[in-house]
Amino acid sequence: MPTFDSVRRVPYSPQQMYALVADVEQYPQFLPLCEALTVISRSSVDGRTVIVAAMEVGYKAIREKFTTRVQLSPEVPQVTVSYLDGPFHHLENRWRFLPVAGTGGCDVSFWIDYQFKSPLLGLLMGAMFDKAFHKFSEAFEQRAREVYGPPVAAAGSVSTSA
């Protein structure tokens, strides 16, 4: 199963970055491959917000739609995504936002593990997904600049994929 894991230091607070990732309705405006996103339901479970959303991803003529459960945990802060329906056999995703002492910034940790049901779709979309995942944290940092203004701390990144 393809797995991607990255940590990117950004000059924005954990709460600011968490808010951007939790605002799933805005993803089509800036997130690579995201063509559309529809919130199906929003509820509260054990004091946490749970969103069921359908996302349409696409590249050129290829379009796929899948449904996930997004659990928002502002006290951590963390966003956890679990797969419900669509072209995947398996999909799990997690965002964590860890403060960096003395900077006002944070480390944005993005992890995803997935496998397409169809080996052919995996061949067609796999390389595009990998490229998009490399750009996800960068896309959220750019979104932070647009929403919050210029950064005040230094940033950097570390990425790994398997």
Round the average pLDDT of the chain to a whole number and report it.
Answer: 89
Positive/negative CA dihedral, 37, 131, 128, 61: positive
Rounded to 5 degrees, what angle do the CA atoms 109, 112, 114 make?
175
**Domain 3-34+73-161 maps to which CATH number in 3.30.530.20, 3.50.50.60, 3.40.50.970, 3.40.50.1220?**
3.30.530.20
Q: Name the residue with higher pLDDT: 84 or 47.
A: 84
Confidence of residue 59 (pLDDT cuts 50, 70, 90): confident
Can you read off the two tokens belonging to residue 109? 């940790």
pLDDT in tens, 104-136: 899 999 999 999 998 888 887 777 777 888 888
Can you name the residues that pair with 161 across neighbouring β-strands? Answer: 4
pLDDT classification of 152: cutoffs 50, 70, 90:
low
Q: Rounded CA gap, 97 and 123, in Å? A: 32
pTM value is 0.87
